[in-house]
Amino acid sequence: MRRSVEFSYEDIVKRNERRGFTSMVKPVGSLCNMRCKYCYYLDKAALYNNHQPQMDDALLENYIRANIEGNNSPVIAFAWHGGEPLLAGKDFFRKAVALQQRYAGGKSVENSIQTNGLLIDDEWCQIFRDNNFLVGVSIDGPESIHDAHRVDAGGNPTFARVMKGIERLYRNRVEYNTLSTVNVHSEGQGREVYRFLRGISMFMQFLPVAELLQDGVIKSPDTATAEIAPWSISSRGFGEFMCDVFDEWVAQDVGKRYVQLFDATLALEVGVMPSICSLCETCGSGLTVEHNGDVYSCDHFVYPRFKLGNLLGYAFVGGVLQAGVEESGFLQVEQACHLVACLVLEGGRLVDRQHAGFALLRLPSALYANGVSVHNARKVSTNALALQDYTLAVGIIFVSFYFVPCTSYLIISA
């Protein structure tokens, strides 16, 4: 039976007012030229009978217009994702940019795209540079770590080809960053991974792989009968990995290299909206738009019961569909994102960090492993407290290393 929920008039107004929001669009769905062993999105093709045509021109135009007109923000961000979005082709993105310019209406438009790097050539680089794309490249670390899971459709290693793509981006002066998953194969190698990445990237993101598996298929975190996927990293392993990354970063790279988790944790501590959804007080403002216009509350929850609707006939308002969203749609946005934000691996099972004393991403107990008391946490006296001191010292000048230009930098010894 559906749980009844009472909304006040103020709640209704707040839910339907135009607000700033973001959306991740997948122009070719889960279609990809790689077969990463831990990928949570490849099996989404089954939702579309294993046939995923590219987003057509009419839907592309509808999405771009709706995203701009329905978004109460002076800067409209488009995040192109996949699968592998470059499979949509160069002409697709030329059309997308032209449509953005047509409907911008005085607003600024920003584009980011996440790619595995295999298809990057000089022509792609020209498109990215001429249109100010921020390119995220997926690379897990040194060759042995990267190729352990990131293989192409034929099962061949991809490290060398990804590095060639990164070299082209650098040579063509395209702005890029790196996204690295932290999985069981990279556990205990935080220092090695960071040392490698700092040589090719100024901005780094680390994403823990924590997935549930049932009958060979990745399942939603609320699937009680599923088991931890063998490639998942434990919460302790992820905490220790990030401790090691922090030790390397704080000794020599403060103000020179940027790690998203450290920036976001610091932002949270000084009252700035963090860039990581799991650190925010609430979520639901980052939607996923599939190639056919289906809208989901999060790309980690692309399952039929979390579908909010379809773009055709609707417009974005306040991060949900303007019309036709049932009460359950609102609950799905909140509940789904709550699960994404709060469920972590502890002792071989999924738990809610808010009710398990898990404070991986909170200061002063930042960057420590699961369930361990802050007083006994590994390296808490050096890592967490050093980060706390860093926070206090920088807080007044508003995260100067990243958000505000600053000519002087605080260096903290490890």
C-alpha span between 307 and 321 (Å, rounded): 11
C-alpha span between 164 and 152 (Å, rounded): 15
Phi then psi dihedrals of residue 236, to 5 deg: -65, -45
299 part of the active site: yes
Could you give the count of Cα atoms lying within 13 Å of 301 in the half-sphere of its Cβ? 24
CB count, 10 Å around CB of 155? 7
Per residue in 21-59, is it b (16+ CB within 10 Å) or e — as a string? bbbbbbbbbbbbbbbbebbbbbebbebeeeebebbeeeb
Length of the chain: 414
Of these residues, 244, 247, 294, 299, which one is catalytic? 299
C-alpha span between 353 and 4 (Å, rounded): 27
What is the H or E stretch that residue 22 is in?
A: strand 22-25
Instruction: Provide the annotated active-site residues.
Output: 299
